[in-house]
Chains A and B, each alone.
Chain A
């Protein structure tokens, strides 16, 4: 039996040492050795009894811990104090304040305006911030007045584009397929810089939508994928964790879990389920309302940029604070076709509080109708068969996210 059961004198002994049995019980033995031990235990009564004794001792310890020690330890009442200390520490350790971030942003915006929109003989160094904003405003007014296609505002262009896209994706009983060429640079999720292909499907048959997204790298390798099923559950795959897939509970499971919660938690979770259900329902207006609520570009500034092909293309720049603490600045330049309002190109720069930037370029590559079979052929059933581990995300975990969402909503109001 190899050298597995060698005792301290290096002699081969018939039985594994008792220490080894504890390691085995504790799952600390390598797979190969564990197999050998298991085989030995099947055959050997004395060793099996020893193993059972170890397990009985562990059971006693746990019983003692749970019934005697833990109840003696009344959890401190002052945990609440921790959040105060943490907030103090956060302030102390210099997370920039909102106002300083805003001023910093204006300073950067000023520099950009200088390079992009205007050329002026004025020395920008001596212009105060309000004056800058006035100039931008006046400049835009003049631009709207003289521009032949200026009868629509920048934010109207974006929301019209949203509206039409939403209508297209939510066509009843159809299966839609679209995709982008994407370039990531400094991707926050750690994806290597480079070109990617992002493919999407939406299956609207049967009165409810299911959705599928697959992201491939430049070599055609699947990097990540998501599949929102008609029962509301979501399946996530990512190559960096190729041996596991995560699945969220179905809407039904979440709602029945919610029913037993206190009022506040119940509402948070129900809102969460309702919002996702609405997003996946095929009611373009309903869908759009929700999207607009979350995606309102007016949170920041939106403006039209003049391009050589004005009249065919609207180029819209929007700048907003984003993130749940509004600590990041997103600057986005979108090209929208003037006739169809199709958003076909987008360039987004996100600036993080620490000065890092992430850039995403995307170009619409295809949008077409396809078949249910095509959808099914690309869903994650095959991956679900192959992965080693399927992690079910618990309703508790979803509740935590739902509560954070509620919190963020409140903060935004």
Chain B
């Protein structure tokens, strides 16, 4: 009863009844039903995960389903009582593995085919502030597009995971590599991109 009285703003809150008020807010987050939690994780990370799958595997059609399936796997995992310390990395890994297994075509379909690229050129022309800048930016983007297109599969995967904010150790877990391999790979990516861009 004393604890029930501390419970404020909380129609949710069985939770806080047992819980010290000090952690009521966090408790509320912790006592969401698993379904609520998964929904929140999904809203938070579906776009980065989806973008990773598309950018790294090139299959737009499959990516949506893979992304959703990764979060459903997360539900099964947590429902089964498994604890996951790094949920974000876990979801990326699940999506990565699903993509490896499902996207059998192995032929990387470039996200930016020629039509897309033309369309993009036109749209950049519309937004860039001055003609010189447009030209420079377009040149830079063409170079980047070319050099990213030439990356090996692991290089591309490391790059896109890092772009989504994952740390080296997390990338290593997701791709099943050593942290030092990730560091070397990322360095190679940067090296390739700087060389291309400067020359």
Binding site for B on A (CB under 8 A): 18-19, 22-23, 26, 28, 53-54, 56-58, 60-65, 67-70, 72-73, 75-76, 78-79, 81-83, 85-87, 89-90, 93, 158, 162, 165, 180, 184, 187-189, 198, 213-215, 223-226, 234, 236-238, 246, 248, 272, 275-276, 279, 291, 294-295, 322-325, 327-328, 330, 332, 334, 343, 346, 348, 350, 358, 360, 362, 364, 393, 400-401, 404-405, 408-409, 412
Partner of A408, one of B12, B54, B193: B12
Nearest CB on A from B154, distance (A): 16
Nearest CB on A from B43, distance (A): 9
User: For residue B35, which residues in chain A have a CB less than 8 angstroms away from its CB?
Assistant: 86-87, 90
Chain B residues 136-162 with CB under 8 Å of chain A are: 140-141, 144-145, 148, 159, 162
Nearest CB on B from A54, distance (A): 6
The answer on a CB contact under 8 Å between B11 and A68 is no
Q: Which residue of A lies closest to B68 (CB)?
A: A82
Q: Which residue of B lies closest to A22 (CB)?
A: B187
Partner of B64, one of A76, A189, A324: A76
The answer on a CB contact under 8 Å between B5 and A165 is yes
User: For residue A72, which residues in chain B have a CB less than 8 angstroms away from its CB?
Assistant: 111-112, 116, 120
User: For residue A53, which residues in chain B have a CB less than 8 angstroms away from its CB?
Assistant: 194
The answer on a CB contact under 8 Å between A225 and B190 is no
User: For residue B18, which residues in chain A have a CB less than 8 angstroms away from its CB?
Assistant: 184, 187-189, 348, 350, 358, 360
Nearest CB on B from A39, distance (A): 22
Chain B residues 147-183 with CB under 8 Å of chain A are: 148, 159, 162-163, 167-168, 183
Stretch at the interface among B72-80, B85-93, B99-107: B72-80
Nearest CB on B from A370, distance (A): 18
Chain B residues 86-138 with CB under 8 Å of chain A are: 111-112, 116, 120, 124
Q: How many residues of B contact A (CB 8 A)?
A: 79
Binding site for A on B (CB under 8 A): 1-15, 17-36, 38-40, 42, 46-47, 50-51, 54-55, 60, 63-64, 67-68, 71-72, 75-76, 79, 111-112, 116, 120, 124, 140-141, 144-145, 148, 159, 162-163, 167-168, 183-184, 186-187, 190-191, 193-194, 197
Partner of B55, one of A23, A69, A87, A165: A69
User: For residue B184, which residues in chain A have a CB less than 8 angstroms away from its CB?
Assistant: 19
Query: A81-B68, A82-B46, A348-B1 provided; 16 other pairs, C-beta below 8 A?
Result: A19-B187, A62-B163, A70-B51, A76-B50, A76-B63, A158-B1, A294-B11, A322-B14, A323-B14, A343-B2, A350-B14, A350-B17, A362-B3, A401-B28, A405-B9, A408-B12
Measured CA separation A75–B9 after assembly (Å): 35
The answer on a CB contact under 8 Å between A28 and B168 is yes
Compute the total of residue contacts between A and B using a CB distance below 8 Å: 224
Q: Which residue of B lies closest to A65 (CB)?
A: B163
The answer on a CB contact under 8 Å between A224 and B22 is yes
Known: A76-B64, A324-B33. A60 touches B140 (CB 8 A): yes
User: For residue B50, which residues in chain A have a CB less than 8 angstroms away from its CB?
Assistant: 73, 75-76
Measured CA separation A408–B64 after assembly (Å): 30
The answer on a CB contact under 8 Å between B144 and A60 is yes
User: For residue A70, which residues in chain B have a CB less than 8 angstroms away from its CB?
Assistant: 51
Nearest CB on B from A314, distance (A): 12
Partner of A73, one of B20, B31, B60: B60
Among B145, B163, B190, max chain A CB count under 10 A is at B190
Known: A28-B167, A86-B38, A332-B1. A322 touches B17 (CB 8 A): yes
Measured CA separation A89–B33 after assembly (Å): 14
22 contacts between A and B (CB under 8 A): A23-B183, A26-B168, A61-B144, A64-B148, A69-B111, A73-B51, A82-B46, A86-B35, A188-B15, A188-B19, A189-B20, A215-B20, A224-B20, A236-B25, A237-B22, A275-B9, A279-B8, A322-B17, A323-B12, A358-B18, A362-B3, A401-B25
